[in-house]
């Protein structure tokens, strides 16, 4: 299972997280999930256990939901080298 990056298009943190994935060459290892779509929002709500309350961006690594830009960037750093902070 690929780690899943949950984001909102208009959110600056989501843009920074997507840019970090791209800059680090992790596009083939991370799935982008735009919460604009109901099924994506439902998946995020289920993972967080707090419907509508997950802090974005968020990264699900298969075990942990990392919430907020700092936590997402730290988790991405563990996935690959060179992720900008």
Assigned domain for 84 exists:
no
**What does residue 39 show for φ and ψ, rounded to 5 degrees?**
-70, -30
Assigned domain for 29 exists:
yes
- The secondary structure of residue 30, as a DSSP letter, is -
Assigned domain for 85 exists:
no
One digit per residue, pLDDT tens: the chain, 85 residues? 899 999 999 999 999 999 999 999 999 999 999 999 999 999 999 999 988 888 999 999 999 999 999 999 999 999 886 444 4
d(CA 30, CA 74): 14
pLDDT of residue 82: 47
Please give the model's pTM, rounded to 2 decimal places. Answer: 0.90
pLDDT of residue 1: 85
Instruction: Tell me which residue range forms the domain holding 29.
Output: 7-52+65-79
pLDDT of residue 8: 96
Beta bridge mates, 71 = none
Q: How many domains does the chain have?
A: 1
pLDDT of residue 53: 83
Assigned domain for 12 exists:
yes
Residue 85: count of CB within 10 angstroms of its CB: 10
pLDDT of residue 59: 98
Nearest to 68 by CA among 82, 46, 81, 53: 53
Assigned domain for 21 exists:
yes
Count CA atoms within 13 Å of residue 29 on its CB side: 15
Assigned domain for 1 exists:
no
Assigned domain for 57 exists:
no
């Amino acid at each position: 299972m690929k780690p899943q990056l949950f984001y909102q298009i208009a959110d600056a943190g989501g843009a920074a997280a997507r840019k970090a994935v791209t800059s680090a060459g992790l596009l083939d290892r991370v799935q982008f999930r735009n919460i604009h779509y109901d099924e994506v929002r439902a998946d995020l709500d289920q993972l967080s256990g707090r419907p509508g309350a997950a802090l974005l961006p968020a990264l699900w690594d298969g075990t942990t939901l990392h919430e907020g830009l700092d936590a997402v960037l730290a988790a991405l750093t563990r996935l690959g080298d060179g992720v900008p902070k």
